[in-house]
């Protein structure tokens, strides 16, 4: 192929790339709520986590996705629109006791932590 033909091919390819929308950003790694791992024995919030795992399917079916749930032991205390509201209620009612506030989600994002030594 001569130089003019090569330049033409390069220009056509460049024009084609410019017309294509950029690819969507990659989805962050996540797992479906049915795959949530069980709590480990001795975890401070083991009972609350198991309550969340047991109830999340029902809560999603009721349209509660995106809201924030407050759980103490095996009891759902309430559901709020914001994390701040749920935490405020938790501190007001349970001050120095452990409680769980968690966003109700169909897919839970996985967080990757690297330990620095």
User: Does residue 50 lie within any of the structural domains?
Assistant: yes
Residue 86 lies in a domain: yes
pTM of the model: 0.74
Q: Evaluate whether residue 59 is within a structural domain.
A: yes
Domain encompassing residue 104? 30-109
Backbone Cα Rg of the chain: 24
What is residue 3's predicted lDDT score, i.e. its pLDDT? 60
CA geometry: angle at 53 spanning 81 and 115, to 5°?
Answer: 90
Q: pLDDT value at position 116? A: 63
85 in a domain, yes or no? yes
> What distances in angstroms separate CA 55 from CA 3, 71, 88, 92, one per listed residue?
67, 11, 22, 24
**Helices of type H across the chain:** 3-19, 46-61, 83-94
- Check residue 25 and give its pLDDT: 81
Query: What does the pLDDT profile of the chain (117 residues) look like in tens digits?
Result: 556 778 888 888 788 777 777 778 888 889 999 999 999 989 999 999 999 999 999 999 999 999 999 999 999 999 999 999 999 999 999 998 999 999 999 999 987 777 666
Q: What's the domain count of the chain?
A: 1
């Amino acid at each position: 192929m001569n130089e003019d033909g090569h330049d033409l091919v390069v220009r056509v390819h460049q024009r084609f790339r410019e017309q294509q929308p950029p690819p969507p950003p990659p989805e962050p790694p996540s797992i479906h709520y049915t795959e949530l791992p069980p709590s480990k024995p001795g975890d401070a919030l083991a009972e609350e986590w198991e309550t969340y795992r047991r109830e999340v399917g029902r809560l999603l079916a009721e349209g509660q996705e995106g809201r924030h749930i407050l759980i103490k032991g095996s009891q759902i205390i309430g559901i709020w629109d914001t994390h701040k509201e749920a935490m405020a209620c938790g501190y007001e009612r349970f001050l120095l006791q452990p409680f769980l506030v968690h966003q109700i989600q169909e897919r839970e994002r996985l967080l990757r932590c690297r330990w620095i030594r």
